Amino acid sequence: MQELKGSRMGTEKIPKLMRELAVPSIIAQVINILYNIVDRMYIGHIPEIGAVALTGLGISAPLVLIISAFSSFAGGGGAPLAAIALGKNDKDEAEKILGNAFSMLTLMAVVLTIVFTWIKEPLLYLFGASDVTFNYANDYTTIYIMGTIFVQYALGLNLFITSQGKTKNAMFSVLIGAVANIILDPIFIFVFGMGVKGAAIATVISQTLSALYVLQFLTSEHSLIRIRKKNMGLKFGLLKRIVSLGISPFIMQATESAIVIVFNTGLLKYGGDIYVGSMTIMQSIMQLLTVPVQGFTQGVQPIISYNYGAGNFKRVRETVRHSMKVTVGLTASYFLLVLFVPGLFARIFTTNPDLLALVTRVLPIYMGGMWLFGVQMSAQMFFVGVGEAKKSLFIALLRKVIILIPLALILPNYFDVMGIYYAEPIADILSATTSGILLYMTFKKLPR
């Protein structure tokens, strides 16, 4: 217990602490996103079929996102609660939360594997598959679904390592899988000639390695809180708290899947397969740029949770102010980069001249509201960090469900296929402005 009382999260200077916690978290998030990004880079460069195979992989993205999103119920909801408990010096409560989260992840993995194996074919057509692209999407998802339990453990439980302030260990768990994926991808795709199936096999093996490391760490003496058999029995009270807070990050990821579906079906209707391929590339670029910011906020969140739990509201305020400067500065810089050199990013994923020209033309439009997006990310981090489930949920729903999806359905009626690209920047600006106002109003009410 003495280790918890003397935690540096309650005493160390905020800028120094943010650097120590955020940098490994940023690296971990960047490495984690490489699972999908590297797959797309390699597949997009397969001779002759690269552009079509890449489109097929983009169609499988909603299902991959949904599987990942379910890990947020347990991890995104449980980890902040565990950090708050540690801030209150209640290690037993933190371990009960971890044990219930582990059982939740196991149960969800079994259910998801059975359900998605059963309904994946109609789902892929719903997600925007055509007769040309279905086989590639089906090949990838069939294998990926078999690794669902490892995805749940690797993503959901890793947040409990971060919540202890041990971001280097959290980073290493992701590094193991990402390095394995980077090495295995070209071997299975090109050397063994397995194409899209090879990419899926490499990803599942890599996620398995990450999951094994996370489980080993959380059952070892190096972890402040451990997975213990006595805490695995599901308790309704704990589950309710975990789910009520975890529903916000879940919806953020799950609605990302809904957005991909709306975009893909609209682009297929108004444009064709090449427009669906362009969205696959642009969403990959968006992830590549925003993930470092997400990693930063995820690394900083335990500082907010710990000090909020300890009643040190001065440090909570200071953390949020520093965070806002970093997130807005990064997203504004990314916007300028995309505005002036869009073709540089497009060439990472394709050499097809038609697809390259399309992405170069529409990417600055699609990411036109990114300069303000850092405000929403900081607000989301704050509300999750202090356990404000309802406000966090509202922000999650606002951009994607309330604004973006309706715009993506309505604007093509007036602007044809370009209306789908216009929807993204409009939603970013409106939701970031609203989130900033809500954060400011809540911030003022914190006890002095």
- Chain centroid offset of residue 80 CA: 16
Looking at 109-118, 130-139, 152-161, 380-389, which range is the least confident one? 380-389
Looking at 210-214, 401-405, 429-433, 440-444, which range is the least confident one? 440-444
- pTM for this entry: 0.73
Query: Tens digits of per-residue pLDDT, 377-408?
Result: 899 888 888 888 788 778 878 888 899 999 99
Angle between helices 167-186 and 14-44 (to 10 degrees): 10
- Chain centroid offset of residue 121 CA: 25
User: Is the pLDDT reported for residue 109 higher than 90?
Assistant: yes
**For range 259-272, the mean pLDDT:** 90
The share of the chain scoring above pLDDT 70, in percent, equals 98
> What pLDDT, on a 0 to 100 scale, did the predictor assign at position 346?
86
> What pLDDT, on a 0 to 100 scale, did the predictor assign at position 360?
94
pLDDT band for position 433 (50/70/90)? very high
223 backbone φψ class: left, alpha, beta (φ>0; ψ -120 to 50)? beta
Cα–Cα dist 303/10, whole Å: 8
**For range 413-428, the mean pLDDT:** 95
Per domain, the residue ranges of the chain are 13-234, 307-445
> What pLDDT, on a 0 to 100 scale, did the predictor assign at position 6?
40
pLDDT band for position 12 (50/70/90)? confident
> What pLDDT, on a 0 to 100 scale, did the predictor assign at position 2?
38
> What pLDDT, on a 0 to 100 scale, did the predictor assign at position 302?
85
The share of the chain scoring above pLDDT 90, in percent, equals 46
**For range 7-21, the mean pLDDT:** 80
> What pLDDT, on a 0 to 100 scale, did the predictor assign at position 7?
63
Query: Tens digits of per-residue pLDDT, 297-333?
Result: 888 888 898 888 888 888 888 999 999 999 999 999 9
> What pLDDT, on a 0 to 100 scale, did the predictor assign at position 442?
86
Mean pLDDT of the chain: 88
Query: Tens digits of per-residue pLDDT, 177-193?
Result: 988 998 999 999 999 98
pLDDT band for position 412 (50/70/90)? very high
Mean pLDDT is highest, among 51-60, 229-238, 392-401, for 229-238
User: Is the pLDDT reported for residue 9 higher than 80?
Assistant: no
pLDDT band for position 438 (50/70/90)? very high
Looking at 76-85, 161-170, 375-384, which range is the least confident one? 161-170
